[in-house]
Structure 1
Amino acid sequence: MTPPTFFAVEYAINPWMDTSTPVDVARAVDQWQTLRDTYRRLGHTVDIVEPVPGLPDMVYAANAGLIINGTAIVAQFKHAERQGESAAYAAWMGQHGHRPVATRHVNEGQGDLLVVGSTILAGTGFRTQPQAHTEVAAITGMPVVSLELVDPRFYHLDTALTVLDDTTIAYYPPAFTAAARSRLRGLFPEAIEVASTDAYVLGLNAVSDGKHVVYPAQAAGFAEQLYHAGFHPIGVDLAELLKGGGSVKCCTLEVFS
């Protein structure tokens, strides 16, 4: 995780960002700290990557890459405003025993590359290029399932789909093409389908350890669905960071080994 020390909405590269809306950095830091403390309270290790001035979106650590089995596939960002984050995160990855590897095509890390069991679900349509999916499959040796997004509010896969455990997901069907929905139904016939009310507060931008699901607190309906499915939902308010188009998962780069 990276603290939002330099968080700001200085440009607009997704529909959630409005440069005329003021940002309360102190409040953003407090909300981020609550998320960090929640993970620690659940027994998880949280490593901190130092923020870099001039990179206001660096708080969205999930986009930094995909770290799995000692290899770190470093993000290649679509927008120039975020490209400086790649070097900062690659340096941290290398210093912490992960082998940094670059793709030739645009990939935005765990924003669009979500591990479920032995498979990677890979988003495309707005940021990550489909050619990067092929590269990720070759680097990891894992099957990659491409899923096309069609609603710009859900510009990354992690805004429209949550991995809950090795066999279970939750997702918002209208965010995907008909072909992608068909793939998801075939792979996950028992998936939780989330309503618009929860999707529109980025309720699916959540993190699960297989039992506890840390989710944006405004997504009350999703929390109820999780409870009835046997998970333990834990709501965290990240409303200030939502102004940049991210929430719980966006702030969390998971390391898979």
Structure 2
Amino acid sequence: MITRDPEAFLHAFAALPYTAARPATARAAFMVAPSHFGLAGESAQDNAYMRMQDVVDPQRAARQHAALAEALRDDVPVVTFPGIPDAPDAVFPNNVFATRPGALVVGRMRHAVRRREALRTDIRGFFRDVLGYEEIDLSGPSQPVAELTGSLVIDHARGVGFCGLGERCTEAGAAAMHRAFGLQLTFCFDLAPGEYHANVLMTALAGRGVLLVPDGFRDSAAAEAVARAYEGRVVMLEAAQKERFAANAITLDPHRVWMSGTAASSLSPAQCAQLERLGFRIGAVELDEIEKAGGSLRCCVAEIF
């Protein structure tokens, strides 16, 4: 079921309890090193989080990225692919590549500078020839724009997707991702003006709760529906914390949520205590150099289910 109606979503969500039959977190992850890191002006057209006025230090970005990969390996195996020329923001592979058990999904990016990433034969070959995954290719020119787990936040334990609609994901794109990921329910909502991805507005915490920034939803009723669905298990974030990427987080282990140092430092003691009550400790890695490109920790990590 795909719906934009908050009440229809809540009714359907109530019938999809958390279940151990579906993996709540990934079994591995992959990243793309900032080998040719920079700020892509084309991407900045609709990414207000990019700091185009700042000077980028590629070597510092590389050190921070390597430290992130090392830290995440405490939770899951991590594979790192090299960056490619003429793709300065290819460091955010989760928009282009994502998986469900047994299948690689390749998304359709809005901007040409990002579409180059979808052509990578090494990443496609790794999943096809090494892991034996089926390939679901949504990247062709006739496909609707759908920027995968940038636009779509997934509660894997329930098979539920939360899809932010805007310039980087159309309704047709949401429907294509719903099918590709084999979801049981997708709740679509319009992003507020100036927002580009749902994954800066919310994080699904291994099926046991959510980080949520209501400020980024065009319609407050949609944000309220998400909060009602996870009633008692919602860590509400302020607009200022969104700007510090506090909702751009990921759970690779059922008991740890990873976010950038910038994001973690923005959390209040009460919010940290909420996460602790939900059974999560916080892992943090400094990524402020990479954050100049308009994404943070979650954007750097593509999950392997």
TM-score for both structures, normalised by structure 2: 0.78
Question: In 1, Cα distance between the equivalents of 2:51 and 2:260?
Answer: 20
Among 69, 94, 107, the alignment partner of 2:128 is 94
Among 208, 228, 231, the alignment partner of 1:189 is 231
Report the counterpart of residue 78 of structure 1 in structure 2: 110
Deviations 1:109-135 (CA, angstroms, capped at 9, x unpaired): 111122212212222123111112212
Once the two structures are TM-superposed, the CA of residue 53 in structure 1 deviates from its matched residue by 0.8
Report the counterpart of residue 164 of structure 1 in structure 2: 205
Question: In 1, Cα distance between the equivalents of 2:53 and 2:178?
Answer: 41
**Structure 1 contact 70–99 (Cα < 8 Å) conserved:** yes
Among 129, 144, 147, the alignment partner of 1:105 is 144
Among 59, 75, 83, the alignment partner of 1:51 is 83
**Structure 1 contact 49–92 (Cα < 8 Å) conserved:** no
Report the counterpart of residue 114 of structure 1 in structure 2: 153
Once the two structures are TM-superposed, the CA of residue 92 in structure 1 deviates from its matched residue by 4.1
Q: Which has the higher contact order (CA 8 A, sep 6+)?
A: 2
The correspondence of residues 210-249 of structure 1 with structure 2, limited to 5 A, is 210-219=254-263, 220-222=265-267, 224=269, 225-230=271-276, 231-249=280-298
Among 184, 191, 204, the alignment partner of 1:149 is 191
Question: In 2, Cα distance between the equivalents of 1:206 and 1:168?
Answer: 13
State the structure with more CA Rg.
2
Cα gap change, 1:139/1:235 in structure 2, threshold over 3 Å: closer, same or farther?
closer
Partner SS for 1:55: coil
Q: Which runs of 5+ in 2 are unaligned?
A: 1-30
Structure 1 ranges of 4+ moved more than 3 A: 89-93
Deviations 1:60-92 (CA, angstroms, capped at 9, x unpaired): 011123300212221100111211111114444
Partner SS for 1:165: coil
Report the counterpart of residue 9 of structure 1 in structure 2: 39
Partner SS for 2:78: coil
Among 32, 37, 45, the alignment partner of 2:70 is 37
Question: In 2, Cα distance between the equivalents of 1:241 and 1:221?
Answer: 18
Give the root-mean-square deviation of aligned CA atoms. Answer: 1.8
Q: Which runs of 5+ in 1 are unaligned?
A: none
**Structure 1 contact 67–98 (Cα < 8 Å) conserved:** no
Once the two structures are TM-superposed, the CA of residue 18 in structure 1 deviates from its matched residue by 4.2
Question: In 2, Cα distance between the equivalents of 1:66 and 1:168?
Answer: 22
**Structure 2 contact 275–281 (Cα < 8 Å) conserved:** no
